[in-house]
Structure 1
Amino acid sequence: MRLITLALFALLLLIQYPLWLGKGGRVRVADLETQVAASHRKTAELRARNAKLDSEVRDLKDGTGAVEERARYELGMIKQNEIFVQVLDENGKPTESKTRLPTPLPPAPAGRKPASH
């Protein structure tokens, strides 16, 4: 009787092997599910990035607001009749500011041309 029990237990283990460790086993399925979830997250990030880039391209094609913003922040340009104010820290270095508001010049007196920058 003991021999039959051991033989049946061995057969049970042999049947379970493909389920857990085989080509389509639980371990492999869990690994593939993790890969699919990572792929979905990456795809969502890329879609958001593409939407942002698409919006920026449309803005650059249709309006001048984005062009002005890039000229101000990336190239340091200002419009005519504006004053650029730069705040320095204790060490004499420019401070990082998230917003820079232009300060318009007061109107020029009659008969005088405004200074060009």
Structure 2
Amino acid sequence: MKALTLIFVILIALLQYPLWLGKGSWLKVWDLSRQISEQQAINAELKARNDSVDADVRDLKQGFAAIEERARSELGMIKQDEVFYQVFERSSPDASATPPMTTADSIKPAATD
């Protein structure tokens, strides 16, 4: 009886080996599915970037508005007989320019009447 049990255990182990550790095992399938999902995420990012570049190319081929916009923003160009006004935002006073108030400065003598 022990020999029959041992034979069945060995037979089950031999049948389970390809399922868990063989060429098409569950572990390899799990790893490949993880790699597929990572690659699909990378592909989605690249597709979005390609769509953006494709839209830029179409804009540049079809009209001068995109070319003019790029010339203005990236190269600082203006049209002939056009006046350029550059507006600077007023910055708030720098906190480091004013020394912080110390406790000795904040204590004032009491008025004596």
Say yes or no: TM over 0.5: yes
CA RMSD of aligned residues (A): 2.0
Higher Cα Rg: structure 1 or 2? 2
CA distance in 1, matches of 2:48, 2:37: 17
| Counterpart residue type for residue 72 of structure 2 | R
Q: Give the number of equivalent residue pairs.
A: 91
Which of 1 and 2 has higher RCO (CA within 8 Å, sep 6+)? Answer: 1
CA distance in 2, matches of 1:84, 1:10: 87
CA distance in 2, matches of 1:30, 1:43: 20
Contact 1:19–1:26 (CA under 8 A) maintained in structure 2: yes
Higher helix share: 2
CA distance in 1, matches of 2:59, 2:77: 19
Residue number in structure 1 paired with 2:56: 56
Q: Output the TM-score relative to the length of structure 1.
A: 0.65
Gaps of 5+ in 2: 93-113
Residue number in structure 2 paired with 1:41: 41
Contact 1:78–1:84 (CA under 8 A) maintained in structure 2: no
Residue number in structure 1 paired with 2:102: none
Q: How does 1:1-117 map to 2 (within 5 A)?
A: 1-79=1-79, 80-87=81-88, 89=91
* TM-superposed deviation, 1:86: 4.3
Residue number in structure 1 paired with 2:104: none
Runs of 4+ residues over 3 Å off in structure 1: none
